[in-house]
Structure 1
Amino acid sequence: MKSPVQWVNDSLQRKLMFSYILVIVIPLFLMSFILYQRALHVVTEQTEKYNDKMLQLMNEKIDKLVTQIDRISYFVYLDDVQKLLNDIPQDPVVNASWQIDLKFKLNSWIGFLGFNGGIRSVTLLDQTGVYFNSENALIQSGFSAERSRWYQEALQSDGAKVLLGPKELGEYMVYPNYREGSLNYAIARKVYNLQGNDSLGVLVMGIELYDMNEIMSELNLDSHTGLMIVDKSKEIVYSRGIAHPDQQLSRLISGDTPGKSTIVKDDDHDTLVNVFTSASTGWDYITLTNVEMLAKDAKQLSSFLLWIGVFACLLAIVISFIFSKRIVIPLKRLQNTMRNIEKNDFQSNIAVAGRDEVGQLTISFNRMVSRIRELIHTVYRSEIQEKEAHIMALQSQINPHFLYNTLGTVNAMAMMSDNEEISKMVVALGDMFKYAMKQNGRLASIREEMEHLDNYMTIQRSRYGERIQFVIDIPVALMEFSTIRLVLQPLVENAIRHGLDPLPDGGTVWIRGQLDHDTIRMDIQDNGLGIEAEKLKAIQTRLLSGVKDGTYRSGDSIGLFNVNARLKFYFGGAYGVDVSGGYGEGTTVTLLFPAKRHTRTLADG
């Protein structure tokens, strides 16, 4: 079975088609790949810029909210509140009234500011524990100021706010009834005693920004982009659109600088990470975008180009088939004509279909074939002339043999004083010489050949009497077909001379003829001595090979080779003489030549 490479190389048309397809498809696929990579790069870059911008916008909004909420904590520095904080009653009944009074001051301050900001509770506590809680217990019993890092950090911040995540307050921190999608955190601040130089403890405000959905809708982040807000302790205070945010956070590198973006790779997919760190709160705003979803549009563009490539490939096959066929068909015609010329058919010409390179090649090929025909015709005429001269020499070799025998017979007849027989022989001899010496026109009808043979048999009857018998079986229809001159008489002479004359009782010679399709077959058969097998094989071999030199002149079969050579010269190698028989069985000589009706000329008389 042929390999694909061999299959392509075996045909010029396939080579052209394959080349056309490669020329179209390879650039198209390269362009598709480059455009996909470029589109993915552009989309990723634009997404990075957009996410950075959105994170900055979100930071501005949340910073503004944190600043507004932080103002609520300043109520502790109101004169009335300072007085209350410096005089905390120990009696439970009086303390309950004190709690109500302080809560009233807090609500009045919030009303004055006109902004609640999602305050869930306000708690005041010192080293001994909670001494004020506006509502909903935020700090549980068992609180230890010494073990609470955030408490110590608030005291050391000199009154600056400290932002705390839900988990940073520790196991004593409780946020009841979280709303889904809200941002939960706490602000801790050291409370100074304005009436003295000591500290009144730490104020903690629990905050739930439940309007985060409104903020997110304004940001208009892509549906494939998740968001998380991480505090300074790397705890998540808010997340949206991220599955398993804690696991995602653990994959990120801590200490990212503002505006930093990177692509994090894992087994499932690549993630574009944008990080923006707030200078005010210290929080990290992080977006996570699935790169595969970014590549969706690029893949659609690439798929579209691939479909165009498939269509272009089919179109290339059709176009290449048409154009290659226009090139290959003339070349195939040229190839077929060359095969005909290999079979000696020099009459073939190719129709010129155009003036391009193939057309010019066809014209040159036709000219070459025409020139070859002319050369062959010239060589053929030269060979014919040479062969005719050769044949004339062959014809001249026939007459001396027969003339010698005939003159001997005439001499004998004269001695016997039989004038009538001598007259017949002389007339027959004259007709034979007259026929044999005709040089204009090398062809004769079979009738003329038989008349010449009849003159020869007249002479042989006078010589041999009843010893030699002649039987002729030639259909009348064959008489007007053509053959070359002097082909029957030499073969009949051979039959008498080599087959019948050596026998004391003589014998019979049969001359038969028949038409076999477009070939005439004539048999000269005798029942004489026959030919030895080895000699017969040698004669047959020489007859099949034809005679091209003078080697046939030696031996006793001069007339046989003469006739064979002449038939082959005139009619071609397919025709000639064949010999069959055996020693003691007689001999049959068969002549084959084409069936062509004889056309008489003035030279025929």
Structure 2
Amino acid sequence: MNMHIRSRFKHYFNKYIVESMQRKLMGTLLLVMMVPLLIFMLISTHISRGAVESSEISSNLSRMELSNSYIEEQLNWYNDFLFSALVDDKLVPSITTMDNISATNVFNTQSYIKDKLFGLYNGDEDILSVKLVSYGDRRFYKVENKDFYIENEYDEAKNNEAKAAIFKVDPETNSFTLARNIYRFEDQKLVGKLEMQVSFSFMEHIAEKLQSNEQESILLLDNHGNQLYTPIENDQSIKISEDISTKLNTPKGTKYFTKDKDYYFFQELMNEQIILLKVVPEEVMMVGAVYIGQTGIAILLISIFLTIILSIIVSNQVAKPIVALSRKMEHVEENNFSVEIDTSRSDEIGHLNRKYKEMINRIKELIEKDYKREMENRDAQFLALQSQINPHFLFNTLQVISGMALKRNAKDIYAMTQKLAFMFRYITNKRGDLVYMKEEVNHLNNYLYIQKVRFGDNISIHLFVDEAVNEAIIPLLTLQPIIENSFKHGFESQIEKGHLKIDIQKVFDEVEIIIEDNGVGMPIQVLEKLRGKISSNIESQNRSIGLKNVDSRIKLYFGREYGIEIFSKESEYTKIILRMPYQKGSELNEYFINRR
């Protein structure tokens, strides 16, 4: 198989490259000019890819640091906002003296707490709830979904007594809580806790600025790699594997890494409790390099195009005389001997042109002599054929005339005799081998009249002639010999009634003649043998005007692509289709002058 492929490749390479001086010259020019350009494009594309990657990494790191600052600033604002609520001298008494005051004061105190909590709750749209816990009387107050709740039986351990803000993430609600303990000023006793739950949705506007492409993903993770929140809806699903989670928690200076052709940029927030992660696909990172590569490809294609044009111009200037001679040789192969060959050059190519022109002239003279000899032979054959009359046909015609003389009056005999006289005159009155179609059809009508009288009701004849073909030219005695075969071979031995159909019409730029009868037909062996005789170049020794003679004359005058086709089936039908070009009588002389 490999040997065959190499052999085919070698064959086409020799045919289209090695054996063509023009292509070899073009190929050499292309190689000399394109190889350095291609190497330069590959190197520059590689360098630009690295430069674009470095630039994109630096840009994303800067954006991540800036976003980290924005988020930290926002979290500090929530912390300061919560702390500002503690700086109130009424807050501690309101959660430590509830059991020692009157009912009116209890109502006023609860109203105060309610207003305080609602003030915090309405402070920002991302705040989900605010809760105040009193450890002394085990109560807690809560504002959530714009409702105020009080629970008198509250049991929560004082598990964190830090004075700083307490930060806690809630993955189930995509939120976090900020809490601050409340201490009584006199003895610094822990008496309660103020807690605010905030949704991570406050990061939406920050993520929008951080995301520069729809294919990028912004995620908020906890320190275990669990996804807390996705600020912006993404079509693609990002799965944080253990390998990625490990890299996020590995201390290192660079805040990015690559995994599976994706780039991961991250920043830790709130003492590394939260990780802001940005995932950028490689195709997004390298979009600038892709544009540079596309521009380079466009420049390369333009360069190739210009190089090809230049190589064509140069190769044509160098190999033009030989290429021109080669093309003219191809025209001569198509029997076009009227090509013009430049013989003005005095070098070796001019000598070659002169010798080739002399050879063409000699070939042309030999062909013309052979063609004239063939035409003279054809004319002699046709003159001989014109002078003969089918004895069988004459005998039958005379028999009919004799019978009519006994049985009918002189008018029928007169008509029969007239038709026969017209036929003789048409055959013997030589006006050239080409006639108008209307003349050939008129002769055919005379012939069909005689045959109709001869066969009587045993045969029906249908003749259709398209008026568009009346002025078309056709070789003399083309139709009668074909139709005569239908009577001679198709109807004479047939018992059933015969049907003969003749259609003559113009089909596009051709004349199509279809002759069909329901005679005895031909076996397939006889049909193939007849087709072989017609298609062969061997001259028939039969002196009758038959199908072979008609087909040969059509091909002689109009070309090998025209002629006769025969179709037949034994005991059913025989169909003959004759095709020739549609040529009017006014175009006759010009047509044949050009052919000769």
Interval containing the TM-score (normalised by the shorter chain):
0.3 to 0.5
Bigger radius of gyration: 1
> Bigger relative contact order, structure 1 or 2, given CA contacts below 8 A and separation 6+?
1
